[in-house]
Amino acid sequence: MQANQAPVRRVVIAGGGTAGWMAAAALSKTMGRILDITLVESEEIGTVGVGEATIPSMLTFHKLLELNEAEFMAATSATFKLGISFENWRNVGEHYIHSFGSTGTDHWTAGFQHFWLKGRARGLAADYGDYCRELKAAQLDRFAHLPDDGMNYAYHLDAGRYARYLRKFSEALGVKRIEGKIVDVAAAGGQIMALTLDHGARIEGDLFIDCSGFRSLLLGQTLGVEYEDWSHWLFCDSALAVQTESTGAVPPYTRAIAHHGGWQWRIPLQSRVGNGLVYSSRYMDDEEAQRTLMSNLAGEPLMQPRPIRFKPGQRRQSWRGNCVAIGLSSGFLEPIESTSIHLIQRNLIRLLQMFPSQGICQTDIDEYNQQASQEIAHIRDFIILHYNVTNRRDSQFWRDASALELPASLRHRIQHFRETARVFRVPNELFVENSWIQVMLGQGIVPERYHQIADLMGDAELRHFLDSIRHGVESLARRLPQHKDYISRYCRAVS
């Protein structure tokens, strides 16, 4: 069944920022020869712009665009990211790193964690993270590219500079940018017809991409797609963001520092440090949040803290009629695992795979919505895990988080790992088995047993197996250059 038989040739992107210019870049690079692409944005309307930490999937998006990595990093004051340091999450004063990449060596019947658990029980194993090259390199503040993509990494970047970089990229491929505020959205029969701007211009299109942020001006306000609220699982609904002067330290990881009513991020760029406090207004008022953030900064602030309000959840549909919401207009969880930019690019790639060149098809819309909804739900579960599985009971925030009635999907994963040490990845899920293992172990889950295949190794063989991996990881990590020195040689920021 065809929802709209007319071929799509005119694409209108409503809003700029990271989402809008990523959409413009992806469409112009892949389909710019057959599409007329217009992006509407207003300099008067600010963007959230705090998505400064990414995950390794961004490298795939940049390969699609054929970007020069060193050039992109210099233009956006970027640094490398090997993972996230979670501090005070399990207990105050304790920390662990959720790193990218794999840990140890798996057997076809069982993951490395089973052999590690036996080694731990026998007094033969070091910390789980000692068997992961990315984690060890992060601890030592070291980084380098390795042959055959042997180092899994992402970026810390200046979100404002990134949007400007992609704007230049997109305009060179024919994207037309129109300055102006959208004052009216014309719709009929469940379709967007045109946008009217404050200076009177009327922008018509065949397909509209809603990148209007939390307002969801097209999909939510105009087409009336309802919002599914997940705040009963994810308490945080507010954030304060502030930039500080660089302290000189440039660790290759994001810091996520838990407080009594939320958590604080610290993201090192080449030219400055991005900071923020994510908190729940039910447990911490704005004045207390500002005091907490400002008293825990490492450098001099460059601005006044900027407040951000959000509601964790998703639109019940991301695509309706001829309107697709990308970015915050389709939903938002929170910044804890740096998934916002990932969801932008995944939905863009999904749109490209189902692009309605010959007419909008309802089965494509249904498939797109199902995939998008499932993906963000899997990420939701992973984020809830950080709050729910904890030993902290020192504030009402943590007591309530630990007492949550969990989604059935997450409850099963936690119990399955607790009882068997097994983790199985859901098809097309973002976070791989090792991510779940690192976080569940880091948050304090100790599995009750391990796979019996590990018992086929005697103590001497198991010790040799574990030690050889650990020594190899340690040796490699210590041969890498200091992260700060590598950046200076490879991609020094341009002013």
Partner residues linked to 323 by β-bridges? 208, 320
- Which residue, chain included where needed, has tokens 């042997």? 150
- 3-state helix/strand/coil string of 254-279: EEEEEECCEEEEEEECCCEEEEEEEE
484 catalytic per annotation: no
Considering only the C-alpha atoms of the chain, give the largest distance between any 2 of them, rounded to a whole number of Å.
79
Query: What whole-number distance in Å separates Cα of residue 155 and Cα of residue 166?
Result: 16
Query: What whole-number distance in Å separates Cα of residue 160 and Cα of residue 139?
Result: 29
Read off the DSSP letter of residue 482: B
CA distances from 366 to 42, 88, 321, 378, 470 (A): 32, 42, 11, 19, 47
Question: What per-residue string of b and e applies to 90-125 under the rule 16 or more CB within 10 Å gives b?
Answer: beeeebbbbbbbbbbeeeeebbbbbbbbbbbeeebb
CA distances from 406 to 232, 279, 336, 385 (A): 10, 20, 18, 9
Which amino acid appears at position 388 of this protein? Answer: N
Element at 411 (helix H, strand E): helix 408-420
> What is the sign, positive or negative, of the torsion defined by CA atoms of 74, 77, 78, 79?
positive
Residue 217's contacts (CB-CB under 8 Å, 6 or more residues apart) are: 14, 15, 182, 185, 210, 329
Element at 127 (helix H, strand E): none
DSSP output for 286-344: HHHHHHHHHTT-SS-BSS--EEEE---EEES-SEETTEEE-GGGTEE--GGG--HHHHH
**Are 300 and 244 a contacting pair, CB within 8 Å?**
yes
How deeply is 171 buried, as exposed, middle or buried, from its count of CB atoms within 10 A (0-12, 13-18, 19+)? middle
**Are 247 and 266 a contacting pair, CB within 8 Å?**
no
Cα atoms in the 13 Å half-sphere on the side-chain side of 411: 8
CA distances from 84 to 98, 135, 268, 337, 466 (A): 5, 9, 12, 8, 24
Which one of 63, 81, 118, 176 is the catalytic residue? 81
Tokens of 7: 């071929």
Q: What residues are annotated to the active site?
A: 81
